[in-house]
């Protein structure tokens, strides 16, 4: 078991522009998953779902206790599908 505060479901994709960001999954997979050029979230474990809010908030709290974070990238493929 790792001490890292976030439980990732692999594979995780990091956009080059987010090289120094904490990747924080608030969804798993992509809600659309239909772009013909994209195979990022086709594996069974990446079937789309919103993550449990309490689980995400707990990870944010633990990340705040253990990491120095200046920038966060909300993952996975279509995190903004969630209500604000």
Residues in touch with ligand SF4 (CB under 6 A): 30, 32-35, 38, 40-41, 77-78
Token readout for 75 is: 């993952």
Query: Could you tell me the smallest distance in angstroms from the CB atom of residue 9 to ligand SF4?
Result: 14
The token duo for 22 is 């904490």
CB of 2 to ligand SF4, least distance (A): 26
Q: Which helix (H) or strand (E) holds 27?
A: strand 27-28
Phi, psi of 27, deg, nearest 5: -130, 165
Pairing of strands 49-50, 27-28: antiparallel
Looking at beta carbons only, is 34 or 84 nearer to ligand SF4? Answer: 34
> Smallest gap, in angstroms, from Cβ of residue 67 to ligand SF4?
26
The residue among 35 and 67 lying less far from ligand SF4, judged by its C-beta, is 35
């Amino acid at each position: 078991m790792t001490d890292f505060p976030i439980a990732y479901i692999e594979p995780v994709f990091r956009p080059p522009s987010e090289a120094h960001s904490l990747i924080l999954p608030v969804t798993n997979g992509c809600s659309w998953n239909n772009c013909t050029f994209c195979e990022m979230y086709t594996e069974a474990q990446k079937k789309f779902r919103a993550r449990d809010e309490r689980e995400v908030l707990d990870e944010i709290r633990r990340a705040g206790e253990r990491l120095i974070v200046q920038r966060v990238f909300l993952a996975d493929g279509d995190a903004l599908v969630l209500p604000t």
